[in-house]
Every structure is written in C-alpha cells, then in structure tokens.
Structure 1
Amino acid sequence: MNKNIIAHAVALLALGALSACGGGGGSGGGGGIALPLVAGATDQTPAPAPTPAPAPSPAPAPAPAPSPAPAPSSRAPVAGSEAGPSLASPQAGSTAAVGGNEGIYESMFGYTYVGADGSIARKFTVGSLFGSIAVTGLNWVFNPGTEFLFVTASPTTGSGTFTPKTSMDGTYAKGGGSPAPFGPVSYSTANALAVSQASVAGTWTASDTLGIGISLTVDPSGAFTGTTSGVQIGSCTLSGTVALSEPGTAKNMYGLTLNAVNAAASPSASDACKLETTGSYTGPSAIVFLPAGIYTSNGYFRYLSFLARTSTGATLTDALRLQP
C-alpha cells in the first residue's frame, strides 16, 4: 500500500479519536493522541481572509462654475451721465421758469442763441448769423446790422414768430437774395437748467476727430486757459472768460471772450495756430445736454457750447464735453 495513503489514514483515525474524547479531560486524565504531521498531510485550519484594500476615497466634486455676471441693460444709465433737465418741471430761476422767448434753440446742425437783450447768433450747416431781433408779442424781425458770415459778411433781413417754450420759426434773406426758411428751431431742454457762474467751472474738451481739438479749463470765476490741436485749427494757446450774460440770475446763457496765441515752433510751422491771433472772439455760450445713449434712461452728458466771432468775421464754434 502506498505510504502516503497509510499516513493519511492514520491522521484521520487520530482526528476521530480526538473527536470521540471531547478534546481531552475525563477521569482517565488522558487526552487524545497527538500525532505529528506526517508528510503529505494537509493543515485543516482555514487561512485568514485577506484584509480588503481600503475603498478609494471619492473624487472631490468639482466646484460649481461661477454664474456669469448679468449683461448690463441697454437702458441703464451710462457711467458719468446725468438726468437731463425737464421743460415740464424747470428748475427754479431757469430761463424756462422765469424768461420769455429768449434762450437756447436747437436744430440738427447747431444752436441758436437768443439773448434777453434781443441779441441772436445761429450756426447754419454752412455759415453763421450774428445780429439782433426786435420782438413784439410773439413776432420777431431782424434789426439792421444783422449779418450772415461765410467767407464775407452779407446783410440779412428776416422775420417770424415764436411758439412759447416750443420753437422759433420764420424766413431770412441774405444779401438781398430770396427768402429761405429760418426754422423751425426747437426750444432746448437746457433752458430748464438753473445755473450760477460756478456752473462752468471744470475742464471741457472736444476730441480731435475732425482735425479740431479744443480743451478749456475754467475756474469758478469764469476765467479759462486752454489749448487746441489738429490739422484744421493748429496748435494754439487759449485764454479768456465765460461769464453769465445776466449776473445775479440763474438763466443758462453766458458770454464768451477768447484770445488765441500761436503755440507752434514758428508762424510757418505745419501746426501753426489757424485761429485769428490779433483780436478776440466773442459770442454767446451755454451749457447744453447731449444723449449718452439711444434711450432717455441712458442719461445725458453736459457740454459747454459757444458760437463766437472776431471783428473781421472769423468764427469759431464748438461744444466741449465736461470731463469727470
């Protein structure tokens, strides 16, 4: 018989004896017969179960993407803008509140300034008009001495009517020519603004987009200094005043006096000042409002507008935006 089989049988008998004896004890004091393991026998004690590997930690959840900032509304106020004045509720002391037909009138191509003393200045698409009107009720007529300036000065006649706080209309004829429409020009909401002398304090600029750049820095008394730039106007140093037309009132109408000095390297330099430097430019000025966007709710930017001339008929007009 195979020795391995015999050994296996002996081991089984020993295990059976241990089971029968209850694993030892009893009066006989004897225990089961302990047999050494015989070659070829198997250990019946089960191997300990392997320790399971720890479960992997769950990957952290990704942080939620930040919500995109809401797009600004196209109707929101534009930075730096302000709400414009209202003719429906003019500010106390303003031209619209206490004045008659004088004030600022607007058209697509510029402003018409009508003073309380009857003075008038208007910018046309080409050329400008300076003079005065006589007013009877709601009717007006040009006084002698009114001129249309374009290359040369042409005597101008004309007449028309006012629609109170709404418009000015009529006709004009320059140099004895045929009458042409003078209006209508619209009564500006800027007439509802109450001002003081200090209202013009600040730095006002027009960017050099058409070859004309102007910057004026005005102090609270109305005195200013400034500069020009651009191929159409050249390099000039400016000085002058912008003062209330009716001191002691809050009406939005000023008088401008401006002097220019050549600031280029020489009178023949390519950037030489092209303004008249031998006399002063004088004319009306006012604070006006231009839209900051396409909606009323976008607000308005404040501008200093003016239309000035010299005694020789040279003219200068612009609207300069107030800087923050």
Structure 2
Amino acid sequence: MVNPKSLRGRDFITLMDYTTEEIKYLLALSRDLKSRYYQGDRYTPILTGRTLLMIFEKPSTRTRVSLDVAATQLGMHVIYSNPQELQLGRGETIADTARVVDRFVDAIAARVYRHETLLELARYAVAPVINALSDQEHPLQALADALTLWEVKGRLEGLKVAFVGDGDNNVAHSLMIIGAKLGWEVRIIAPRKYWPTKLAEELTEETRRTGAQLVISDNTDDVRGVDAVYTDVWVSMGMEAEAQERRQLLRPYQVNAELMARAGKQAVFMHCLPAHRGEEVTDDVIDGPQSIVWDQAENRLHTAKAVLLALLA
C-alpha cells in the first residue's frame, strides 16, 4: 500500500527511483483521472496557485501539449520556455538557473539533450524536476504505454512486449525499466550495435525480484506470440550525422504487415510518435486495426495529470 504523501516533492527523472507499488499507484491514479475526465470532470483545480516551468531544449508535440493541458486542468499556471529565452542561452549555468527559478515555481519539467542536465537541475532545485525526455529515458511515455496496455489487454501482469528497431534509445530504456518493475517479458529486437546491454545488466536484480524477463535478440522472428510490438524512429533528434548508417542497419527491422503477421493477431502495434512513415513503420500498420498509437498519445494527458498530482498535491 502506497502512502500518497511519500511521493510528494519527489523528482520524476527515472522510473528506477520508483517501486513497483508506486508505479502501480500512478497508473491507478491515471486510470481514475481518465474515467473522471470522460464523466465531464475535466477541470479539477486542486493545484490552483501552483506554477509549472517547462524548459524544452528539443521540439515537442505530445509532451509539451499534454503537460500544459494537464497542468491547466489542475488549475496550475504554466510557463513555457527554451534555453534561448532564458539566461541559459547566454551562458548562465544550469545550477544558477535552478537556484533562481526554484524561488519562483513549484515544479520544473525539462526536455533535454543530456540526462545530466536533469540531474543538475534536481541537485540545485528543491522543486520536483520532471523528465520530459532525455537522451537516456522517457518515463512519462512509459507510464502512458503501461496504462494503454492495461486498458487494451485488461491486465498489467504477464505482458509480453517486443521493441523492434533501435533498442538502445530512451523509449526502449524506459520500456525496459517499467517492464522490469511490473514483471513483464520485454524483448528488445535490434541490430547488435543497438543493444541496451548496460541497462539490462543494471536491471538484473529488479527482474529477479519481480520475475520479469529481458530478452535481447537480433532476430525479428522473436516477435512471435507477443502482446505488443513497439517501435520508434530510427534517427532521433541529435543523431542526424549518422542517419545514413542507422537507416541501413535498421531497415530489416521495419514494422510492416509481414512482421505483424509473425507477431500474431493478438499483438497490438505501439509507437511513441512522431512516426517516420515508410521508415520504421508502414502506413498499413500504423493506420491499421492493430494500432493503438492514438490511445497511447491520449494517455500522455492522463498520466501527466497523475504525476503532477502525486508530486504536488
């Protein structure tokens, strides 16, 4: 049983810092908030008078809009900025920025190129720091993924998810972490160059505790029998210099009708978006009957509200 007060004031930088019970609490809260949302309870000003600062080094659609709308529906004031609009763009240190804005705002959400930037913000700010995406993890996305699978499959336990493509990216990492916490079987199917070997080793104790399984393979036949097939773009922001090599290595890992047929009719298709149609996924899959990507996208709103409430209420 989780005491909600135990989450208050904490950072949300990595799901590694949260227990299985705490993650389940956040998911249950997300599901409850979504239910209330569809009953017409869309504006619940529990956090009136609080302010969320969003610092985004990278462009964003789902993360920016979902956090802004979530905070607004909870009664918060939202300030959106990029480093060029702050003194960060003129050389002020992350530490100095954190010390200053901490005197003004109640929470900081940051979308950054380097994970270390989040850790630096958290080191010098008392206000909770929320990871809105870094080069290592995307925990807000993982929460929405888990909520979506819970809704579609009717359970959180015993799920089998195959991530196909770049297995060493932020979305794959957070999927591995939440899967390890919830006892899933997560299969990373990727070229050997993009295997998340280091993270898999770090999760060994967690998987032993929960009974989860992490399988790393370069064989696309290993999608057979899974509950979900997940993919992400092959060339993320900041990787443009290696785009040609990445596309060449990852081309055999495209999620298309043939691969989904191998996975089976029970498998749903997942993507964190934005999608590069015709690269990592074909139109007939992302727009097809097995696709749940739009449900994933919507659930970013409800899980964002849950995180803000848990950290601030």
TM-score, normalization by structure 1:
0.25
Q: Which has the higher strand share?
A: 1
Q: Which has the larger radius of gyration?
A: 1
Structure 2-normalised TM-score?
A: 0.25
